[in-house]
Amino acid sequence: MITNTIQAGIKAAIKPLLVSLSQQQGYHFYFGTEMLPVTPEKLSTKIKNKNKTITLMNEGEVNLLKTAGLTEYKFDILLPNVSYPFAEYLFEFQPAGYYLEFLEKLKTEKEPFQFIVSRVHPGRGSLFKTNTTVTLEEYEIKESAEDGFDCIVSVELKQYRPFETRVVRLTSNKKKAGTTGKKRVAKKAASGTSYTVKSGDCLWKISKSCYGDGGNGSKIYAANKSAIEKAAKKHGKSSSQNGRYIYPGTVLKIP
C-alpha cells in the first residue's frame, strides 16, 4: 500500500513535468508550479509610469524619462467546490479551500514566486508568454448566492525586483556620523558548483538557495550570460532581459 507521504513525494517529483506539458496547449495561469483550475476571464496588466514632466525657462515642458515602475497584475479567480468539466487540475480535483490555503501560505511566507501565463493557440501554436517574478499583494475572497458554493478571489500581484542591502556602521567619532561598510555577506556557495534550472525558478530563488541571500541574482546572470541568452533565444525571446527569463534544463555555474 502506498502511504500518503510516498504519494505526496511522487506528486512533488512529477509536478514540474506536468506543468511543462500543460503549458504546451490552451490558456493557463500558474503561481509557481500551482496551476489555477479555471483560467480567469480577464487579466489586467498595468505598466507603471515614473516619467517626470518639468517646465524649463524659455523651453516649455520637457519629459524626464525614468525606469518604469513595478508592473501590476489584477484578475479574478474562480475556485470551484464542485468538479466541473471545464476545470483542469494537474492531478485530481481540489476544493476551493486547497487554493485558499495556498494563497495564505504565499502571503505569510513573504517570498516572491513566478507568475506564468501560457497562451497556446490550437492552430497557431504558442502566442506570447508571461513569466515574471511577483509578490502577492492584496486579495479579496468573495462568496455570493449567484456563485453557489464556489468562491471568487480578486487578486493583485506586483512585479518583484531583487535588491541588495548595505550595512551602515555607526562610530563614536563626532566628525563622522556614520560610514558605509561592506555589503552584508551571505553564506558562500562552493565555487565551481552547478545548478540545473527547474520549472518555476528565477535567479532570485536560485541565489537564495545557493547563497542564502536572493541578492546575488545579477552575479549568477553575469557568470552565465551566454547560456541564459542562448536558452531565451531558443524559446523565442530576443533576450532574457538580464536573466528575467530563464528556462528549465539550463545548467548554470554558481560563481
DSSP letter for 93, please. Answer: -
Angle at 118 between CA 93 and CA 215, to 5 degrees: 100
CATH class of the region 20-161 = mainly beta
Average confidence score pLDDT of the chain = 84
Q: Which three cell numbers stand for residue 65?
A: 524619462
d(CA 70, CA 46): 9
Q: Could you tell me which residue, 127 or 145, shows the higher pLDDT?
A: 145
Specify the CATH number of the domain 186-255. Answer: 3.10.350
Q: Which three cell numbers stand for residue 26?
A: 490552451
Using the predicted structure, report yes or no on whether residue 243 has a pLDDT greater than 60. yes
Could you give phi then psi for residue 206, rounded to 5 degrees? -65, -45
Domain-by-domain residue ranges, the chain? 20-161, 186-255
Using the predicted structure, report yes or no on whether residue 184 has a pLDDT greater than 70. no
Pick left, alpha or beta for residue 212 (phi over 0 → left; psi -120 to 50 → alpha; otherwise beta).
left
Determine the 3-state secondary structure of 130 from DSSP.
Answer: strand
pLDDT of residue 128: 82
Count Cα atoms within 13 angstroms, Cβ side, for 119: 8
Indicate if the alpha-carbon torsion angle 199, 133, 124, 231 is positive or negative: negative
Return the residue matching grid coordinates 566628525.
175
Q: What is the pLDDT of residues 41-88, one digit of tens each?
A: 999 999 999 899 988 887 789 988 998 999 999 999 999 999 999 999
